[in-house]
A and B are shown apart, each in its own frame.
Chain A
Amino acid sequence: MLLKGKVWKYGDDINTDVIFPGKYTYTITDPEEMAKHSLEDLDPAFASGVSRGDVIVAGKNFGCGSSREQAATCLKYAGVGAVVAKSFSRIFFRNAINAGLPLIQSADAPDRIKPNEVVTIDFEKGELTCEEGVFTFRPLPEEVMGILQSGGLIPYTRKLLETE
């Protein structure tokens, strides 16, 4: 799995409320519609400017706060190809994988990647290439890659059930 995309760069503790505003949690259920509100309160330019395969780069504890699955779903449907962060909240990590949104944890890359530059990610090799050079990360476990390559937990299950 190879990904090439433009960087949207943010800071630490990006919580699920700014990723997908709580006020829409029970009013918007269509994922395409959700995508239009992603990161609305943090960066109003994001939802209209994001292109398929773009990469979010952030600091520590990305996705902290509530357990709402919409935070992962909206980014997935907005076209985000991966989120690179120093660390992730556990629940967001789970929800993102289930939604088919790849996550990369790297302690040093987020500080070195520049806003708006184009990065290339090789998920199998565990390599991220940006202007400053090549950063390696621990590739996601095989099982998680299986879910991601199917597009999320549901498509993965369907495949699993068909082969049984």
Chain B
Amino acid sequence: MGNTVVEKIISLHCQEEVVPGKVVWVDIGLRTARDFGGANVVENFRRNYNEDKVADAAKTFFTFDCVAPANNIPYANNQQICRDFAYQQGIKVFDVDQGIGSHILIDKGLCLPGCIAVGTDSHLNLLGALGALGQGMGDVDIAFAFKTGKTWFEVPETIKVVVKGKLSPPVSAKDLTLAVLKRLGSKGALGKAIEFYGEAIDSLSLDGRITLASMVTEMGGIVGFITPNKEVLDYCRARAGKEDIEAITADPDAHYCQTIDIDIFGLKPQISLPYHPSKVVDVDEVEGERVNSIFLGSCTNGRWEDFKVVASILKGKRVYEGVMFKAVPSTREVYGRLLKEGLSEVLFDAGVILTSSGCGGCASGQVGMTGEGEVQLGTGNRNFKGKQGAGKTFLVSPATAAVSALYGRITSPDKV
């Protein structure tokens, strides 16, 4: 019998045959910690392994993205603890100016198809967008990975999700993602890997793939793989400066524990209601509700394409009086491109607050929080009670966020 993608990747990193349910020791290509959890990783490391060196400093990274730069003492302290440790160990730090760690691993050519990466970020599995296995873990686990370069892993079963139909703007990768989340629910992929197939998936750009893969966490899944196409492979080759990069694909006779078909024909813009990401409805159903603030950004929708869509909608217009629009690019690279290609000026003229890169408002980062009674439309991946402050957060696509910003009310982008 053939193997699924996750079985193949794990097998390559433990040099043995694997089947779902088997526990194996795997070699990890990339070991990371961010400003959330990073200081605890350092503490764990020092307590348990004294002044030892990490297994391989060149494969170990700190990425500061949660509160960047720190606006409170605990985060500032935690970042400094990580910097000091990194200096002693010769570990590279992607500091507060660089942006979201998982995106940096992609954009710097560090994570490639087939790679295994672990870190203290529960959305590190968005690396499935490249056909790589990313996994968020606890502090003890990551300290262990720093020390040994290994981790134990139980090989998960795989669900095959086939998405039929085509996306046509303004319906976007985020709407597709929310539609899949609605169908699977928050426990639909509990403890399992997903492989996404179908015409709508094949035609997704890298940025769109990241959007979809980033929300597998909200489906309860371990990771969601999208087979890299030529665009993705070329991107990885260019970024890594290497030619010998190929996709890992499932065997035709691979075994799936479940196959789910989703037809997105006629799909309308989607929105997830407070306070559960999987509580998804058509934007139409809540159209007209007053909006106080907008957050554009996060590891789900903070990339160049997301900003481009928003800038095209806001160009020459102004955000509705009284609506606060905060925009945080996912990485310094996106931020720089916005400045150099004139999009920052478009956003500025429309009344948008544009800041340096990071996770921003998704986890109550440096761009502030919502107040009681505040209604926010966010392009992130979670809207749990309290996560972005005391208000209510709806999750939407960048296009829905931008159009709603113009009207000051929840508005479907297909209406304008």
Q: Please give, as numbers and ranges, the residues of chain A lying within 8 Å of B154 by CB-CB distance.
A: 93, 141
CB within 8 Å for A143 and B24 given contacts A90-B191, A157-B147: yes
Contact of A141 among B23, B141, B147 (CB under 8 A): B23
Q: Is B191 within 8 A of A153, CB to CB?
A: no
Per DSSP, chain B at the interface is mixed
Instruction: Please provide the chain B residues from 133 to 156 with a CB less than 8 Å away from any CB of chain A in the complex.
Output: 137-141, 144, 147-148, 152, 154
CB within 8 Å for A67 and B48 given contacts A90-B191, A98-B138: no
Q: Is B141 within 8 A of A94, CB to CB?
A: yes
Is B275 located at the chain interface by the 8 A CB criterion?
no
Q: Is B141 within 8 A of A143, CB to CB?
A: no
Q: Is B140 within 8 A of A90, CB to CB?
A: no
Is A69 located at the chain interface by the 8 A CB criterion?
yes
Q: Is A67 within 8 A of B138, CB to CB?
A: yes
Q: Is A143 within 8 A of B138, CB to CB?
A: no
CB within 8 Å for A143 and B152 given contacts A90-B222, A153-B140, A154-B140: yes
Mask: chain A, 58-99; 1 = CB below 8 Å from B; 0 = not:
000000000101000000000000000000011101110111
Mask: chain B, 374-416; 1 = CB below 8 Å from A; 0 = not:
0000000000000000000000000000000000000000000
Q: Is A90 within 8 A of B190, CB to CB?
A: yes
Q: Is A95 within 8 A of B138, CB to CB?
A: yes
A148 to B320, CA, bound (A): 59
Q: Please give, as numbers and ranges, the residues of chain B lying within 8 Å of A141 by CB-CB distance.
A: 21-23, 154
Q: What is the number of residues of chain B that contact chain A, defined by CB distance less than 8 Å?
A: 21
Is A147 located at the chain interface by the 8 A CB criterion?
yes
Q: Is A67 within 8 A of B122, CB to CB?
A: yes
CB within 8 Å for A157 and B139 given contacts A141-B22, A143-B152, A144-B23: no
Q: Is B144 within 8 A of A157, CB to CB?
A: yes
* Cβ-closest chain A residue relative to B156: A90
A108 to B50, CA, bound (A): 45
Chain B nearest Cβ from A8, distance in angstroms? 25
Residue of A93, A147, A154 ringed by the most chain B CB atoms within 10 A: A154
Is A160 located at the chain interface by the 8 A CB criterion?
yes
Q: Please give, as numbers and ranges, the residues of chain B lying within 8 Å of A147 by CB-CB distance.
A: 152
A115 to B154, CA, bound (A): 32
Q: Please give, as numbers and ranges, the residues of chain A lying within 8 Å of B23 by CB-CB distance.
A: 141-144
CB within 8 Å for A94 and B222 given contacts A141-B22, A143-B23, A157-B147: no
Q: Please give, as numbers and ranges, the residues of chain B lying within 8 Å of A95 by CB-CB distance.
A: 138, 140
A94 to B137, CA, bound (A): 9
* Cβ-closest chain B residue relative to A142: B23
* Cβ-closest chain A residue relative to B152: A143
A137 to B154, CA, bound (A): 17
Q: Is B138 within 8 A of A153, CB to CB?
A: no
Mask: chain B, 68-111; 1 = CB below 8 Å from A; 0 = not:
00000000000000000000000000000000000000000000
Q: Please give, as numbers and ranges, the residues of chain A lying within 8 Å of B139 by CB-CB distance.
A: 69
Is B304 located at the chain interface by the 8 A CB criterion?
no
Is B25 located at the chain interface by the 8 A CB criterion?
yes
Q: Is B140 within 8 A of A69, CB to CB?
A: yes
Contact of B48 among A97, A143, A157 (CB under 8 A): A157
Chain A nearest Cβ from B351, distance in angstroms? 37
Q: Please give, as numbers and ranges, the residues of chain A lying within 8 Å of B138 by CB-CB distance.
A: 67, 69, 91, 94-95, 98
Chain A nearest Cβ from B34, distance in angstroms? 14
CB within 8 Å for A157 and B148 given contacts A67-B138, A94-B138, A94-B141: yes
Chain B nearest Cβ from A90, distance in angstroms? 4
Q: Is A153 within 8 A of B122, CB to CB?
A: no
Contact of B148 among A67, A91, A160 (CB under 8 A): A160
Q: Is B140 within 8 A of A144, CB to CB?
A: no
Q: Is A153 within 8 A of B141, CB to CB?
A: yes
CB within 8 Å for A154 and B48 given contacts A94-B141, A141-B22: yes
A33 to B139, CA, bound (A): 20
* Cβ-closest chain B residue relative to A73: B140
Q: Is B152 within 8 A of A144, CB to CB?
A: yes
Chain B nearest Cβ from A76, distance in angstroms? 12
Mask: chain A, 137-163; 1 = CB below 8 Å from B; 0 = not:
000011110010000011001101100
Q: Please give, as numbers and ranges, the residues of chain A lying within 8 Å of B190 by CB-CB distance.
A: 89-90
Chain A nearest Cβ from B74, distance in angstroms? 9
Q: Please give, as numbers and ranges, the residues of chain A lying within 8 Å of B21 by CB-CB distance.
A: 141
Q: Is B25 within 8 A of A143, CB to CB?
A: yes
Contact of A98 among B24, B140, B148 (CB under 8 A): B140
Chain A nearest Cβ from B121, distance in angstroms? 11
Contact sample, A vs B, 18 pairs, CB 8 Å cutoff: A67-B138, A90-B190, A90-B191, A93-B154, A94-B138, A98-B138, A98-B140, A99-B140, A141-B23, A142-B23, A143-B24, A143-B25, A144-B152, A147-B152, A153-B140, A154-B140, A154-B144, A161-B147
Which 7 residue pairs of A and B lie closest in terms of their CB atoms, listed nearest first? A141-B23, A90-B191, A143-B23, A154-B48, A69-B138, A98-B140, A144-B23
Starting from the known contacts A67-B122, A69-B138, A89-B190, 15 additional A-B residue pairs (CB-CB under 8 Å) come to A67-B138, A90-B190, A93-B154, A94-B137, A95-B138, A99-B140, A142-B23, A147-B152, A154-B140, A157-B48, A157-B144, A157-B148, A158-B48, A160-B148, A161-B147
